[in-house]
Amino acid sequence: MKIYPILFKLVFKPMDAELAHKIGLKGIQLLRASKLTPVARKFLLPDALLRTEAMGLTFPSPFGIAAGFDKEGSCINALGDLGFGHVEIGTVTAQGQPGNPKPRLFRLVEDLAVINRMGFNNEGAAKVGPRLAAARADFETEFSFSSSARPIIGVNIGKTKVVELEDAAEDYRISTMTLAPQADYMVVNVSSPNTPGLRSLQSVETLRPLLQTVQEAAVLAEPNRHVPLLVKIAPDLADDEILEIADLAVELGLDGIIATNTTIARDGLGLQSDAQKVSEIGAGGLSGAPLKNRSLEVLRLLKEHVGEKLTLVSVGGVTTAGDVKERLDAGATLVQGYTAFLYEGPLWAARINRELKKLLK
């Protein structure tokens, strides 16, 4: 019998969603600090069968935690201990900012979904950078004598809210210069619905110079190491817009695309939650199980169009090992989850890795 669903129902479900998230982060950090960590790691780390090569990096598992869970790099090592093959932190902005007014995180329990309008709340690149460096050093020390590959650290960057859209490229450049030396890979987030105007940067005309600026900054920041660069796109783009971004990514020599971010849609998702409740929650990006079909659709569209030219990272509606296998079969090299973590609990990644190993055999 799973204990966490009972804990969720009795403790976390009645609680404000953002407060519950903070308590969850603290619990993961405490687990990391406990003496149980070395013992637990033996049972929670992915099997060697799941090792995955992508973008010149070795991932211990194709399954990782998406950006949004650990916004500021406060529990990277703890998440690695839980079995995630990669930990993508962020979204981090060049300047620290508080994000949007609260409440800004809402559960749709009947749909295993979440609506958020967090607004890139984080302390800024300069404060996050040292945490990344420390986490990476810890991983390299802990796994130096291990047959297991260390978890990979990704950094998702976005635009500071007070920065005008015409100055976005410079804002992303600052974050890149600060964080690329500590990152295993970087992600340009232009697809969150919670920063005004951000999604307009997905148009090829504005996206091209922004991505070129980030590429140049990554080389300057880390001249002796290639830092893979990906762009994260929204599920609400039309198919032809997705293909235009894919062509641009290939043209510029990007390493990959992450598909997809949260959706602003409410209709057509088959939501089981009370319609009035959803309406009262209001604006924000919806993530979780209802996003599954569109996310998978975008993945297949991209794979058919770009083949092996880009690494495709699939995220959106991933809950089970079967979901991960379905994404891999559809052309993803890596798969991410986040929302289901809130409903499945701390053993979620280890359970997916264990079941995925059986499926792959």
339 is annotated as contributing to ligand binding: yes
Let me know: does 338 contact 66? Beta carbons within 8 Å: yes
122 is annotated as contributing to ligand binding: no
156 is annotated as contributing to ligand binding: yes
Over its C-alpha atoms, the chain yields an Rg (Å, rounded) of: 19
Name residue 88's beta-bridge partners.
154
Catalytic residue among 175, 192, 295, 314: 192
262 is annotated as contributing to ligand binding: yes
121 is annotated as contributing to ligand binding: no
143 is annotated as contributing to ligand binding: no
Task: Reply yes or no on whether 192 is catalytic.
Answer: yes
32 is annotated as contributing to ligand binding: no
256 is annotated as contributing to ligand binding: no
70 is annotated as contributing to ligand binding: yes
Let me know: does 341 contact 68? Beta carbons within 8 Å: no
285 is annotated as contributing to ligand binding: no
Only one residue has tokens 């993803």, namely 332
Task: Pick out the residues of the known binding site.
Answer: 67-71, 91, 116-120, 156, 189, 194, 232, 260-262, 288, 317, 338-339
What residues are annotated to the active site?
A: 192
Task: Pick out the residues of the known binding site for FMN.
Answer: 67-71, 91, 156, 189, 232, 260, 288, 317, 338-339
Task: Pick out the residues of the known binding site for substrate.
Answer: 71, 116-120, 189, 194, 261-262
